[in-house]
Amino acid sequence: MIKSIQRVVLVAAILLSVASSVGSASADIFPSQPVLSGRLLDGAGSPISGQTLALTGSNAVGQSVQVFALTASDGSYSFAPVPPGNYTFDLDGSNPPQGSAAPPRFIFSQSNTSPRSFLDLQTSRTLDLRLPVQQVTVHVQDATGAPLADAKVWTDSPTAPANLAVGLTIGGYTSYPQDQPATTAASGDATLWLNPTSYTVYVLPPTSAGLSPARQDNVQVTGPTYLLFAAPAMNEPPTANAGGPYPAIVNTPIRLTGSGSDAAGAVLTFGWDLDGSKSFATRGQSVLFTPTSVGRTTVVLRVCNDAGICTTSEALVSVLDDGTGGTRGGTPNPAATPELDSLLRFGSGLSALVGTLRRFRRSRR
């Protein structure tokens, strides 16, 4: 950190020394030297600090001149007295204050205009430079119409003519780079400040939303602009239904059949968790399940689309005794519902009848 400060101080000292030398030599040739000053303002008229401005050109006797100025906290800038001459004016903005009505990146330059124009500086001038930006509101929502917060919004960087100040024909661009995007608030809105021209605008939903990126091409900014982004539905979670409730006899296979759907018609995969391991290792929409304990147990169906977005659904399996009098290590759930109690009583009677029939058949052999 100290070394960085030392380098900055050294560079500043060198620039000051060079500027003083140029100024001293020029003062001998041009006793009267103009001053160019003013303020740099954002789209709302508020000051922008810490930005670099440059004058580059030649004086009346052909000497090359390049001087720099840095905007102060109130947005003001002032070039030291410079020799009269023709100059190009450049503004390189890379770090606007947080919350300002300005993009995170902007460059304006007279040298980029065609035909090339010059700032004829013969007398002192005051130029208030206001970024020629318009407010662009980007609203991002999911497929249900609900606002989507924390989505990233950025643009490309097209160059277009601009009018920073009266008498200056300037070419320039404003942009929100991908590494310096705007972010949507809880309302789903993000505010951009862009030079009037045509843009491509990109939106990246938060990872937790499970939605795809989106873009709009050829967005024309001529004044205050509103853009609506509805995040693609292809990555919405699918629906899942495990079916049931399923009646079963302990140690007897039963068939579980689930269902699912996807709004975008994606291919679905089905997996079942039959033992509480959460592994969903039993694959298929319809599978066989053999309960080994009397009572109630829960099975879980997981349905995933081809984007890897999944939904789960639970189903109850009510398991009855097989008539042998053994529970195979299982214990009926005492929290059974009245409906389940009735089913268990009916199942117990049915199991007793099955047991009687089995004994009768054995006695006839």
Query: In terms of pLDDT, which residue wins out, 75 or 334?
Result: 75
Q: What is the pLDDT of residue 186?
A: 96
Instruction: Kindly report, residue by residue over 57-73, the tens digit of the pLDDT.
Output: 988 788 899 999 999 99
Residue 244 Ramachandran class (φ > 0 left, ψ -120 to 50 alpha, else beta): left
In Å, what is the CA distance from 67 to each residue of 59, 90, 288? 12, 11, 82
Q: What is the pLDDT of residue 324?
A: 65
Separation between Cα atoms, residue 106 and residue 249, nearest integer Å:
73
Q: What is the pLDDT of residue 101?
A: 93
Task: Label residue 358 by pLDDT band (50, 70, 90).
Answer: low
Instruction: Kindly report, residue by residue over 320-338, the tens digit of the pLDDT.
Output: 987 765 444 444 444 344 4
End-to-end CA distance of the chain: 98
Q: What is the pLDDT of residue 7?
A: 39
Beta-bridged to residue 286, according to DSSP, are 257
Average pLDDT, the chain: 81
Q: What is the pLDDT of residue 254?
A: 95
Which domains are present in the chain?
22-131 (2.60.40.10), 239-353 (2.60.40.10)
Amino acid at 127: L
Separation between Cα atoms, residue 92 and residue 142, nearest integer Å:
37
Q: What is the pLDDT of residue 142?
A: 87
Separation between Cα atoms, residue 303 and residue 288, nearest integer Å:
17
Instruction: Kindly report, residue by residue over 143-176, the tens digit of the pLDDT.
Output: 788 999 999 999 999 888 888 887 677 888 899 9
For 223, the token pair is 């004044």
Residue 28 Ramachandran class (φ > 0 left, ψ -120 to 50 alpha, else beta): alpha
